[in-house]
Every structure is written in C-alpha cells, then in structure tokens.
Amino acid sequence: MKPAIDVVKTLPNLPAEQVRENVAKKPNAETAKIVNTLFDELKSIFPAWRQAWPNEDAEKRAKRTWVKGFMKSGIFTIEQLRYGIEACRSLETDFAPSVGKFVKLCTPTAEDLGFPADDPAWREVVRHCANPGRHNWSHEAVRLAGSAVGWFNLRCSSIPEETLRKRFDHAYYQLRRRASLGLPLEEPRQGIEDQSEGRELTPEQAERHSEQFAQRVMRVQGLDKLTGEQARQQLLAKLRIQRGDTHEA
C-alpha cells in the first residue's frame, strides 16, 4: 500500500466550485478523498492524534471543519497541502495540529520562496527603519513588512518590541502566503491583529478578512467569473494535473 503522502501527490485539487462559495457545504467525492488521505497522513505523523479526534463522529466533524477552514483560507491546491504535511513532520509534538495551525503550515517558509529568514529580515528592518528609502533591501517583502509595521513605530514608538515583532511576523507571513499563491507582493492590510492599537480582531472580523482574501485570490486567478467546472479545469491546467494521473506533474 502506498504511503498517504504519495497518494496526496496524485490527487486533484479541491473543487473550484466550492472555492467560489468559500464554504464547502457538501464536499464531493474528490474532496472527501483528499481530506481522508490528509487525515491518514496526520495520524501517521502524530501518535497522540486521538486526543484531537477521539472517535469516528469527532473525526467526521473535524473533517468538515477542516474543509471549511481550507476554503476560507485559500487552501485549495495539493501543493499547499504538501507544504503543510512536510511542515508537520518537523513539529516536535505527538499531538495533531488544529486546522488554524495547519493552514499556517501550508504556507512555504521564507527560505522556500527565496525570502530572507524571519530573524534576519526583522533585524534588517530594525537597523534601517530610520532611512528605509535609502537602503538597498535584501528583498521587497522585507521592506513591505517593515512598512506595514510602520517606520515611525519602529523608530520611536512606545509600543513594546515584542508587539512590533508580532506585527512584523504577521505581515511577513501574509507576504509569503501571497507569493505562494502567485499573487503580486503588496503591503499587507491589517489582518489578525488591529495594528493601530494592538487589539485582536473578533472571530467575525477575522472570518471577514479571510473571506475577502479568498475573493481577491479568485479575482487574480480569474476564477470569479467562471462556472464551477471552468474554474476547476483552469486550476488543473495551471498545475498540469489531469484526472487519472498517477504521478506528480
């Protein structure tokens, strides 16, 4: 029997007609196959997975929740899921991640994308926040993340450094996510955190941000004006994955 990760490599992408609706109300057979294979792989990685899914009913509910989380977070390609699975192998824990944590793991690391690593990027922003326009930045994403935090805040704000670093990490993560989806880099909008006052967004606000992000992805990729089947075929064509393939494109 093939390892689950090898099966994942041959699966089609999550159906685009479900991406268009943001929430997969009735996952079809392909979606079920993807999620079932993903959960099999997570069980092989995390020996204490029963803490998260103690019985069959709990596992079924979790799978529905995960599908909704994928749709709202723009996770709808097998490549993204492969990133998440490989990242799980590096976690030093026996316990399976939440869907929120797994979604974050589906975003490539800075090194994967050719960005500077998080710590060097942060140090570069701190060193050159006084004159950002005169510095030859190592990567445009570093400059955009610093700008998202605010050059004045970095120079002379009374905001604790820990909070500023959290804002930087969030902005840098959003830029990595955009790059992984093939979107152009632009200064991240306020996301999980209200950057003006350091307040956490309510669940409703966070969900609205996620839905708006997914809609922007669809517009850029030309999915918003297509029928469900047309959008699906376009996604498959981009990834050179055809129905019935048994190897990775």
Q: How would you write the pLDDT of the chain (249 residues) with one tens digit per residue? A: 444 445 444 555 555 444 333 333 455 677 778 889 999 999 999 999 999 999 999 999 999 999 888 888 778 778 888 889 999 999 999 999 999 999 989 988 888 889 999 999 999 999 999 999 999 999 999 999 999 999 999 998 788 999 999 999 999 999 998 888 788 999 887 544 443 344 444 445 555 555 565 566 556 555 556 555 565 555 455 444 444 444 443
- What are residue 193's DSSP bridge partners? 200
What is the rounded CA–CA span in Å between residue 228 and residue 129? 46
Q: What per-residue confidence (pLDDT) applies to 196?
A: 39
Q: State the CB neighbour count (10 A cutoff) for residue 241.
A: 20
Q: What per-residue confidence (pLDDT) applies to 222?
A: 57
Q: What per-residue confidence (pLDDT) applies to 80?
A: 85
* 3 state SS of 193: strand
What is the rounded CA–CA span in Å between residue 42 and residue 37? 9
8 Å CB contact between 41 and 118: no
Q: What per-residue confidence (pLDDT) applies to 5?
A: 44
Which positions ≥6 away from 103 have C-beta within 8 Å?
Answer: 69, 70, 73, 75, 84
- The verdict on pTM exceeding 0.85 is no
Tokens of 49: 């997975």
Q: What per-residue confidence (pLDDT) applies to 201?
A: 45
Tokens of 202: 């309510």
